[in-house]
Amino acid sequence: MKRIRLSVVLLLAALILPAQVIKIGSMAPDRSPWDDALKEIAREWAAISGGKVKLKIYPGGIAGGEEDTIRKMKVGTLGGAVLTNIGLSKINPDAFILITPFLFHSEAEMAYVMERLTPVFEQQIQDKGFKVIIWTMTGWVNFFSKTPVLYPQDLKKQKLSFSTGNPEMEQAWKKSGYHIVPNELSDLMMALQSGMVDAFYLPPLVAASGQYFGIARHMCSLKIAPLVGGLVIVDRIWEKIPESQRQAMEAAVDRVSRKLAAETEKLENKAIDTMKKNGLVIHQAPPDSLAQWKAAAEQGMDELVGKLFSREIFEKLQQILLEYRQKK
């Protein structure tokens, strides 16, 4: 009889238990493909949990920049955030190695490395109190410039815009021989118009949406670095969700992120076509150019290894890349 009463009490408690609302900060604009994907995840999680887990999304930087959202997660104001490479590296500096210029040659290489290093990064991030629900790769960064850039010496003749807030990477570019001009993205158009900068590196989607290509009409086909991001939840909040539901939720995020990746690729191709119709000239990187870009990048590598990310993770990644390239 006591056992029956206890079961009834537990059932009633489950029925009246208030929903867990997880506040998520995001830089993605409202109604953008990335924001739509977050809303779809919110619907999936609510269905999986029977309405007990709800996501409240703050899009378009309403909750602040990435460093702001990390700080708010630490103090409990936010339960999670969508972070790019930069944000993830603020939690775990070793993650910055994934966006080191000219380290990867292809998406296949990137996937091979991520498969082997993801558990390492996830454990490091969990040690800081966060759970990475999903890692996503959303394209690559390219050079855009006022005059064609095919080799390092072409870029060294131009003033390259560089987002502030990362002194180690800035020094690495300078040591590699480039003329760096610290500049925020919000000021890029004015800097291009005034002649303060002549070149920048951004994803084609951003170059198109910001209309920066209208002044810097030359794009190099060479892929500089991948864009990696992820959905991060405060670990203690994630642990409150029943394990069976957590597995289903992670699977739902994986499905949505795969769909988003395909949609992002279509949007990027459409953006490139639109830019080409409006004067953008895409220059195919010569076969011998990659070796020269890598050689130039290596001149500044000592500003990164052991400073921005650990030597241990750098050597581990180099070993994995060598393994992949030998197989191929």
Q: Is the pLDDT of residue 288 over 80?
A: yes
- CATH number of the domain where residue 201 is located: 3.40.190.170
pTM, to two decimals: 0.83
Residue 12 lies in a domain: no
Residue 1 lies in a domain: no
Could you tell me whether strands 159-162 and 80-84 are parallel, antiparallel, or unpaired per DSSP bridges?
unpaired
Residue 170 lies in a domain: yes
Residue 9: pLDDT band with limits 50, 70, 90? very low
Residue 78 lies in a domain: yes
Residue 5 lies in a domain: no
Residue 189 lies in a domain: yes
Residue 151 lies in a domain: yes
Residue 227 lies in a domain: yes
For 273-280, what is the mean pLDDT? 97
Tokens for 99, please give them: 């966006």
Residue range 194-229, pLDDT digits in tens: 999 999 999 999 899 899 999 999 999 999 999 888
Residue range 162-177, pLDDT digits in tens: 987 788 999 999 999 9
Q: Is the pLDDT of residue 16 over 90?
A: no
* Residue 77: domain span: 17-327
Torsion of CA 256, 260, 261, 265, to 10 degrees: 160
Q: Is the pLDDT of residue 51 over 90?
A: yes
DSSP output for 259-298: HHHHHHHHHHHHHHHHHHHTT-EEEPPPTTHHHHHHHHHH
Domains held by the chain: number? 1
Question: What are φ and ψ of residue 72, in 5° steps?
Answer: -70, -30
